[in-house]
C-alpha cells in the first residue's frame, strides 16, 4: 500500500490581504487568529501576545495596539495568543503539555517529560500551534517580530540591527537589557524566526514583562512597538 502523503501543515497558503483570519488551530481546536492593521505593503511587524499560557499580560499590549492605527508605512500584524489552550488552563504548556517556546525546529533538543517545566515535545515542530506560527511567519516574512513573556523584566541584548532595535525598545519602555540565563534555550521561537528571516536582516525578540502590567505600562509598550515599527 502506498503511503498516504499529506502536505505539511506549514505550507497551507494564507491570504495575507485579509484583515482577520484563522491561520491554524490549537490542540483543543481553538482558532489561532491573525489580525492586520495599517498600510498594506508597509513594513511588516508581527506581535504575538502570548506563547506561554500563564504569561498573558501581552494581551493588554495587543489590545492597546488595536486601539489606534499604526504609524504610516507600517503593516501591523497581531496574534493575541498562539497558545489559547494553555491560556484557558492558566498553564505554560499547550494541551499536549509541551512548552511551545522549546518546540521550534531550529536548534531543537529533547527536554523533559510531558507537562514538566520546559518539555520540548516529542520532536521539532510537533505541535499544531508551532506549525501554524511557522507557516504564518514563512508567508508573512515580518521585518520585526516580538513575543511577550513574563516575568523576568528583561530583554536579551543582541548584535547588529537586531541588537539596535532591542536596545531602542528597552530605552522606550524601561525594561532593562540583560542576559537571560538558567534555562535550556533550545527550540526557542524567536531564535528560529531570526534564523528564518536572517537573509532579510529580520529582527525577532522576546520581551520579558514584569509580574504585572498596568494599563499605563501596556500603553507604553504599544507606543514602543509603534515607534520601532516606524523607525525600522
Ligand atoms: Zn515565557
pLDDT tens sequence for the chain (232 residues):
344 444 455 678 999 999 999 999 999 999 999 999 999 999 999 999 999 999 999 999 999 999 999 999 999 999 999 999 999 999 999 999 999 999 999 999 999 988 788 999 999 999 999 999 999 999 999 999 999 999 999 999 999 999 999 999 999 999 999 998 888 999 999 999 999 999 999 999 999 999 999 999 999 999 999 999 999 9
Quote the ligand 1 centre to 22 CA distance (angstroms). 23
What distance in Å separates the CA atoms of residue 129 and residue 148, rounded to the nearest whole number?
16
Torsion angles phi and psi, residue 61, rounded to 5: -70, -45
What is the chain's alpha carbon radius of gyration, rounded to the nearest angstrom? 17
Distance 135 CA to ligand 1 centre (A): 21
Rounded distance from Cα 52 to ligand 1 centre (Å): 5
Enclosing H/E stretch for 133: helix 128-140
- C-alpha cell belonging to residue 206: 522576546
For residue 227, the CA-to-ligand 1 centroid distance in Å is 24
- 6 Cα–ligand 1 center, Å: 32
d(CA 76, CA 42): 8
CA of 149 to the centre of ligand 1 (A): 4
From CA 4, how far away is CA 53, in angstroms rounded?
A: 34
Distance 18 CA to ligand 1 centre (A): 29
Q: Tell how far the Cα of 24 is from the centroid of ligand 1, in angstroms.
A: 21
* Residues by chain with Cβ below 5 Å of ion ligand 1: 52, 55, 149
Q: Is 155 helix (H, G, I), strand (E, B) or coil?
A: strand
Q: pTM of whole model > 0.75?
A: yes
CA of 98 to the centre of ligand 1 (A): 13
CA 40–ligand 1 middle distance (angstroms): 31
CA 109 from centroid of its chain's CA atoms: 20
How far does residue 41's CA lie from ligand 1's centre (Å)? 31
On the CB side of 40, how many CA atoms lie within 13 Å of its CA?
Answer: 5
Amino acid at each position: 500500500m502506498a503511503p498516504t502523503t499529506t502536505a505539511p501543515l506549514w505550507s497551507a497558503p494564507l491570504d495575507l490581504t485579509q484583515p482577520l483570519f484563522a491561520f491554524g488551530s490549537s490542540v483543543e481546536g481553538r482558532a489561532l487568529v491573525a489580525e492586520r492593521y495599517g498600510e498594506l505593503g508597509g513594513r511588516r511587524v508581527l506581535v504575538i501576545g502570548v506563547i506561554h499560557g500563564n504569561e498573558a499580560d501581552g494581551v493588554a499590549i495587543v489590545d492597546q495596539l488595536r486601539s489606534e492605527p499604526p504609524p504610516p508605512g507600517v503593516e501591523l500584524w497581531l496574534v493575541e495568543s498562539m497558545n489559547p489552550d494553555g491560556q484557558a488552563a492558566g498553564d505554560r504548556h499547550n494541551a499536549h503539555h509541551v512548552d511551545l517556546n522549546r518546540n521550534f525546529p531550529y536548534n531543537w533538543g529533547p527536554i523533559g517529560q510531558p507537562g514538566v517545566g520546559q518539555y520540548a515535545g516529542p520532536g521539532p515542530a510537533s505541535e499544531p500551534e508551532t506549525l501554524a506560527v511557522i507557516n504564518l511567519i514563512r508567508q508573512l516574512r515580518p521585518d520585526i517580530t516580538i513575543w511577550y513573556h513574563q516575568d523576568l523584566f528583561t530583554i536579551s541584548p543582541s548584535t547588529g540591527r537586531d541588537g539596535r532595535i532591542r536596545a531602542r525598545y528597552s530605552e522606550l519602555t524601561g525594561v532593562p537589557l540583560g542576559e537571560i540565563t538558567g534555562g535550556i534555550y533550545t527550540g526557542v521561537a524567536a531564535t528560529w524566526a531570526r534564523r528564518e528571516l536572517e537573509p532579510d536582516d529580520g529582527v525577532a525578540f522576546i520581551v520579558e514583562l514584569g509580574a504585572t502590567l498596568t494599563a499605563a505600562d501596556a500603553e507604553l509598550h504599544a507606543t514602543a512597538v509603534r515607534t520601532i515599527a516606524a523607525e525600522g
